[in-house]
Amino acid sequence: MNHVTVIGTGITKFGTMADKSLKQLLLEASFEALKEAGFPTVDAVFIGNFMSGPLANQEILGSLIAHDLGLGPIPTAKMEGACASGGIAFRHACEMIEAGVYNTVLVAGGEKMKQADTNVVTSAINAAMDTDSNEKMAGLSFPGFFGLVANRYFYETEASKKHLAMVALKNREYAVQNSIAQYRDPVALEEILAARMITEPLGLFDCSPITDGAAAVILSRGQSGIRVIASSQASGPTQAQEVEDLLTIGAIKKSAELAYEQAGLGPDDIDVIELHDCFSMTEILAYEALGLAARSEGWKLLENGDTKHGGKIPVNTSGGLLSRGHPIGATGIAQIYQVVQQLRGTACNQVDGARIGLAQNLGGTGSYSTVHIFSNGR
């Protein structure tokens, strides 16, 4: 991928945005991104969103945003791939620009989840499982799935709840410094370990929250900006019972391999990463699938402090899904927002001299993963 650059970024506050509709959130982030890019002529709009149909009786987000921003009768679409909807929308824009179909594309992701009852939201999230499967019908949920995986991880390794808590602590410490993050109050390791249980062994701080928010980027062909040097996507089994190895998220692994190959780089070349920590357990599995550690050894990175400032590769300097928040359709774009700020040198929790950044976005229990690698050309 040689021609695609990010020339504008925008993001809203993440949290409870009671007085703003999803459309308003998307417009706010999109306007900020357009302004930063100098209000270019936009050729297409792609939206990442997962649950605005059931929660807000609102689809057609693509044409709503294009029309309300006065962008003209341009092509638009919403892309859905569960929690990877944002990454997928971004990837489609990259491919279309690289191919020369469009010169400039607005990609926005957003979700408004806080207006509905938690049970309604939880049920809507379960649309990212196979409704025809016995495991969904038997009551398996996302915390249930990743709890199950964590138990298996503890069985096969020397990792424990303490390592999960170390992920949650690291990401909260980063979120404290991120002005748009949902949870910015400092917490202590003991508080995380003592928090109420959601699904054994995942406590409250091990699970990403329900969040409102939106993020947007403007992608361009050939203009100066942060370069997209790899864009990949892979899929995987949609049911736990079909996963070959519970400790390997195949879609992440495959999408990472494709992206590294495309960029001609390996994990050692990356300076900063945003990855999909929907649960603290998922961050550790993503370390392994992204090649930062061997299978079943990701937990050791936490013991060494490898994935925070001063370590090898700071991960989730935004605060991650766990503390910045997880407005589902926005997440993939919010990750890219943070990586772009890092490569511009304007991020919260700036990594000094960061040159190459990676964003990884997961959908379902492993149904989708996108990986994007960025360079500031230095």
If 0-12 CB within 10 Å is exposed, 13-18 middle and 19+ buried, where does residue 245 land?
A: exposed
Torsion of CA 30, 274, 229, 346, to 10 degrees: 60
Closest-CA residue to 274 (of 233, 314, 323, 328):
314
Give yes or no for residue 170 binding its own copies (CB under 8 A): no
> Does residue 201 have a cis peptide bond before it, meaning omega lies within 30 degrees of 0?
yes
Closest-CA residue to 361 (of 95, 81, 15):
81
- Residue count, binding to its own copies (CB under 8 A): 60
Q: Is 25 helix (H, G, I), strand (E, B) or coil?
A: helix
- CA distances from residue 307 to 80, 128, 185, 323 in whole angstroms, order as listed: 30, 29, 21, 16
Cβ atoms within 10 Å of 188's Cβ, excluding its own: 11
User: In the bound complex, what is the minimum distance in angstroms from residue 14's beta carbon to its own copies?
Assistant: 21
Contacting its own copies (CB under 8 A), which of 263, 368, 371, 376? 368
Give yes or no for residue 362 binding its own copies (CB under 8 A): no
Is 94 a catalytic site residue?
no
**Position of tokens 């992608």?**
219
User: In the bound complex, what is the minimum distance in angstroms from residue 133's beta carbon to its own copies?
Assistant: 9
Catalytic residue among 207, 326, 348, 372: 326
For 193, left (φ over 0), alpha (ψ -120 to 50), or beta? alpha
Query: Does residue 233 contact residue 128 with C-beta atoms inside 8 Å?
Result: no
Give yes or no for residue 80 binding its own copies (CB under 8 A): yes
Q: Of the listed pieces 173-181, 231-239, 294-302, 308-316, which binds its own copies according to CB under 8 A?
A: 231-239
Give yes or no for residue 99 binding its own copies (CB under 8 A): yes
Give yes or no for residue 254 binding its own copies (CB under 8 A): yes
Give yes or no for residue 139 binding its own copies (CB under 8 A): no
Give yes or no for residue 201 binding its own copies (CB under 8 A): no
Binding to its own copies by CB under 8 A, coded x per residue (else -) over 8-47, reads -------------x-xx-----------------------
User: In the bound complex, what is the minimum distance in angstroms from residue 103's beta carbon to its own copies?
Assistant: 14
Is 163 a catalytic site residue?
no
Query: Does residue 207 contact residue 345 with C-beta atoms inside 8 Å?
Result: no
Give yes or no for residue 364 binding its own copies (CB under 8 A): yes
Q: Of the listed pieces 10-18, 65-73, 137-145, 292-300, which binds its own copies according to CB under 8 A?
A: 65-73
Residues that bind its own copies (CB under 8 A): 21, 23-24, 50-54, 56-60, 62-64, 66-67, 73-82, 88, 91-92, 95-96, 98-101, 123-124, 126-132, 233-238, 242, 250-251, 254, 363-364, 367-368
* Catalytic site positions: 83, 326
